[in-house]
Structure 1
Amino acid sequence: MTPPLPDAAPAAAAPAPAALLETRALNKRFGGLHVTNGVDFRLEEGEVHCLIGPNGAGKSTFFRLLLGEYAPESGRILYRGEDVTALKPFERVRRGLSVKFQVPGIFPGLSVAHNLEIALQHHLEGASLTAEIRRLLAFLNLSDAAPERAGALSHGQKQWLEIGMAISLKPRLLLLDEPTAGMSPDETHATGEMVQALNRDGVALLAIEHDMAFVRQIAQRVTVLHVGRIFAQGTTDEIVADERVAAIYLGEAETGPADRARPRDAPARSAADA
């Protein structure tokens, strides 16, 4: 009698795909302030993720670490599975990472169309360049303003123009630092529609934002930073319903080193959000 065959060994589970962006135990200090404290963060391909938190939480410092403007004391930054911790900012941009800061970095003395041309000129020429400028102007609701000086645009239009310059390189990941600051409700909603359109085209986005209506409009996941640490993560509804998150915004939660170091009458800012 033939003995029964042994049971087949269970198949090994397939390794989880690499995140688009990941940080592991990321740390940054400014003097005695531990402004990024062991941050483990993950953003998936094609995700729209918002980063929120009270002033001094470390949001802007975290952004500058991702961009390579600051070097961490310890920890790692991985982009598409590659360790980019030691790469310079332009090397990260070449890999598909772009940014739009809170204060627009446009050329105010040049026309709106010329600003976009400068952003595109090393990648396109001739008819292709002209067609892409027209496409971006239409996407940004700036077609009628194309010949105007960029400095004459409204605040919201300047923000849109810089978004256009940031996406001109067709990034895989776009970082947005308070993209709706100073905008009217209508401009804020239009910006959210731009973000959603970019995401449908395959762009992942990570945005620092304070406007919760905008966060509700765009975010698939939300991370709350507090005194340099990840305090909470979840959907927008989960974060809004979290009483601990409400407490830190109302100043009821325990403060950390950055808060205790700030004089009582000083603005609610620290090196963490410089």
Structure 2
Amino acid sequence: MTAILETRGLDKHFGGLHVTNGVDFSLSDGEIHCLIGPNGAGKSTFFRLLIGEYTPERGQVLYRGEDITALKPFERVRRGLSVKFQVPGIFPGLTVSHNLEIALQHHLEGSSLGAEIRRLLAFLNLADSAGERAGTLSHGQKQWLEIGMAISLKPRLLLLDEPTAGMSPAETFATGEMVQALNRDGVAILAIEHDMAFVRQIAQRVTVLHVGRIFAQGTTDEIVANEAVAAIYLGETEAPRRTEDA
């Protein structure tokens, strides 16, 4: 399949630490791909390189065949790449509906705006909370609201940074169903995740990062059965200390 996102020889240093080391990565258009790895693997740095928060020392980031390495985050968003961070960036003092309205207001108006807000509320399981202040939502509901804000621009590619962190098993499963529904609508998804039940639920392919390099790739079953992957998670494979988590 055609790649919607690629990195070629991506390098990032912090002082003397080689945090991302020559990463060649490819995400197919229409794919759900999970990125996993032990703490210090370089996942967060790689994620920030993809969204434009960090600039690599070497290498390229390509989106739909275009070199976007030098583009700012908002320029990447305009091209169809959207992001949901681990900590929800919602407006806690505003209602759930108003949060979605802010995300949509430059793209829709009038009855079309109202109809899209209602559609998103239903999709996010938040219809009953539409008039509540966003700050009163449960942790999982806040995560869902930010997913709604991230998809309001109808992206081609959605990047998720630990979307199920702090969720209950039921909330995690519901989030997986949302991700799969988005994918059926044509959205490619890259998720950094630690919850292997969630990875099993959604991932079509999995990439394991370790000490800034791609350590393994394959289906979820292949990765779970990989003894070398199990070893780095259990601490049997020694890794240098890092200042960047991932």
Amino acid across the alignment from 2:16:
G
1:271 is matched with which residue? 244
Supply the distance in 2 between the matched residues of 1:185 and 1:239 (Cα, whole angstroms).
22
- List aligned pairs for 1:201-220, cutoff 5 A: 201-220=185-204
Amino acid across the alignment from 1:53:
G
Amino acid across the alignment from 2:196:
M
Cα deviation code 1:179-216 (max 9, x no counterpart): 00000000000000000000000000000000000000
Q: Select the residue among 162, 167, 171 that pairs with 1:187.
A: 171
2:114 is matched with which residue? 130
Contact 1:34 1:257 in 2 (8 A): no
1:89 is matched with which residue? 73
Is 1:197 matched up with 2:170? no
Is 1:100 matched up with 2:84? yes
Amino acid across the alignment from 2:180:
Q
Cα deviation code 1:55-108 (max 9, x no counterpart): 111101101000000000000011000000011111100110000000000000
Deviation of 1:272 after TM superposition, in Å, equals: 4.0
2:212 is matched with which residue? 228
1:114 is matched with which residue? 98
1:243 is matched with which residue? 227
2:55 is matched with which residue? 71
State the number of aligned residues. 246
Supply the distance in 1 between the matched residues of 2:45 and 2:108 (Cα, whole angstroms).
33
Supply the distance in 2 between the matched residues of 1:40 and 1:107 (Cα, whole angstroms).
37
Q: Which runs of 5+ in 1 are unaligned?
A: 1-16, 259-269
Deviation of 1:257 after TM superposition, in Å, equals: 5.1
Amino acid across the alignment from 1:244:
A
TM-score, with length taken from structure 1: 0.89
Per the alignment, in what secondary structure is the counterpart of residue 271 of structure 1?
A: coil
TM-score, with length taken from structure 2: 0.99
- List aligned pairs for 1:144-183, cutoff 5 A: 144-183=128-167
Q: Which runs of 5+ in 2 are unaligned?
A: none
Q: Please identify the structure whose Cα radius of gyration is greater.
A: 1
Supply the distance in 2 between the matched residues of 1:204 and 1:145 (Cα, whole angstroms).
28
The two structures, once aligned, show a CA RMSD in angstroms of 0.8
Is 1:26 matched up with 2:6? no
Contact 1:18 1:81 in 2 (8 A): no
